[in-house]
Amino acid sequence: MNYRHIYHAGNFADVLKHAVLARLIRYMQKKDAGFRVLDTHGGIGLYDLSSEEAQKTGEWSEGIGKLLDAELAPQVAELLEPYLTAVRELNPEGGIRFYPGSPKLARMLFRPQDRLSAMELHPEDFARLHRLFEGDHHVRITELNGWLSLGAHLPPKEKRGIVLVDPPFEEDGEYERLVDGLAKAYRRFPGGTYCLWYPLKKGAPIKEFHEALQDLEIAKMLCAELSVRSDRGITGLTGSGLVIVNPPFTLKDELHALLPALKDHLAQDRYASHRAFWLRGEDKTAKDG
């Protein structure tokens, strides 16, 4: 209940998460049928980067602040277009003051037939998220522990969907909870596309986390990781990862284009790195850099 994403909105971890979420949404829209995005930890939906909280850390300046006006190769610019266009639409006078959280970004990318369900437990943040989408019949906001939604809100009535699980990782056992949550959700909705976010920092049990995911024997799990600095002498966040279950067949190649560009633009020291690989699925070959 202490975590507030406003301190971290628009940072390098958000860039990776939201760039991939936008790609997943665009892929789902290749079919005419509508789908639902379930966002288990919705936050407030829209962040004012000029606020005292955001200015206190300034993390956005090392994330979206570096990327928005960067010179990008044509393929990378095309892949990032849905995400960056949404950010620019929120800042019509130029620069960057407002940044979309995952619920707002998804809603901005929707067609009339697409829907959003977003969960938020923090009372104040829930109230702000609810106000943001008040009167929007495409969106349902629920004051609920996001972990519970993986049982109660699946499968969606549309039978097509993206499930974004982005927990704050402020309590012990969150990696294990992420594995258990996926297992429960997958039993209810095996055809869904899942996007699970996790932090990279010194001492994090990443190897054990990946092995536990592999033990679920889900057919296809793709992993993307981006580290922006060395973890030597640093106890905080140095990178982040995404596990994508049932990924679009195009996503692996897209990551091979996106991740090197994100590393180059967001690196905070010479130890920045990236990798994309299958935890389970088509091959086990990592593309590192």
- Domains of the chain with CATH codes: 16-46+102-252+265-280 (3.40.50.150)
Query: Does 227 count as an annotated binding residue?
Result: no
- Which candidate in 39, 114, 166, 253 is catalytic? 166
Residue in 151, 144, 83 with CA at minimum distance from that of residue 118: 144
Query: Does 215 count as an annotated binding residue?
Result: no
Q: Give the separation between CA 225 and CA 212, rounded to whole angstroms.
A: 17
Per-residue pLDDT of the chain (289 residues; tens, 9 = 90+): 345 687 788 999 999 999 999 999 999 999 999 999 999 999 999 999 998 888 888 899 999 999 999 999 999 999 999 999 999 999 999 999 999 999 999 999 999 999 999 999 999 999 999 999 999 999 999 999 999 999 989 999 999 999 999 998 888 899 999 999 999 999 999 999 999 999 999 999 999 999 999 999 899 999 999 999 999 878 889 999 999 999 999 999 999 999 999 999 999 999 999 999 999 987 655 556 7
Residue 135: what are its φ and ψ, rounded to 5°?
85, -5
Query: Does 2 count as an annotated binding residue?
Result: no
Query: Does 48 count as an annotated binding residue?
Result: no
166 given a catalytic annotation: yes
Q: Give the separation between CA 259 and CA 32, rounded to whole angstroms.
A: 29
**Residue 183 class from Cβ within 10 Å (0-12 exposed, 13-18 middle, 19+ buried)?**
middle
Residue in 210, 211, 237, 212 with CA at minimum distance from that of residue 223: 210
